[in-house]
Amino acid sequence: MQTAIFTKVFGERTLEKAFELSARVGYDAVELMCREPHFGVSTTDRRAKQLKSTLDDYGLEVAGLGTYTGRYVDVTEEQSEAEIADLERFL
C-alpha cells in the first residue's frame, strides 16, 4: 500500500518544498492541488515537466489531482463549459 499527501496542506510553500518534505517523512506519492500556487490550470507544459523531474528526484508519484471541478448544477452552461475545459487541461 502506498501513502499520499494532498499538497494543499503545504499552503503557500512551493511544490518543490512540498515534495521535499513529503519524501522526507516517508510518503510515496502526492495528490496535487490544482490551483495556484501549486498546479493551476495555467501551469505550462515546461513547468509540469520540471515538476515531474523533481518528483522523480524524490522518488514520489502523483496519486491524484485535486481539480476542484464538478460544480455543474448551480452554474450557467458557459461556466460549466469553462470548468470542463479546465479539467481537460489537466488530463
How far is residue 5 from each of residues 10, 25, 31, 65, 77, measured CA to CA in Å?
10, 11, 6, 11, 33
Other beta carbons less than 10 A from residue 82's beta carbon:
14
Q: In this predicted structure, what is the pLDDT of residue 71?
A: 67
Q: In this predicted structure, what is the pLDDT of residue 84?
A: 82
Give me the mean pLDDT over the 12-28 stretch. 96
Helix, coil or strand: residue 29: strand
Q: Is the dihedral of CA 25, 29, 31, 35 positive or negative?
A: positive
What are 23's three cell numbers? 519524501
User: Could you read off the pLDDT of 32-83 as tens digits, one per residue?
Assistant: 998 888 998 889 999 999 999 999 999 999 999 998 776 667 888 888 888 8
Backbone angles phi, psi at 9, to 5 degrees: -65, -15
Q: In this predicted structure, what is the pLDDT of residue 17?
A: 96
Q: In this predicted structure, what is the pLDDT of residue 29?
A: 98
Q: Which residue has the higher pLDDT, 80 or 25?
A: 25
**Global pTM exceeds 0.85:** no
Helix, coil or strand: residue 53: helix
Task: Decide if pLDDT at 88 tops 90.
Answer: no
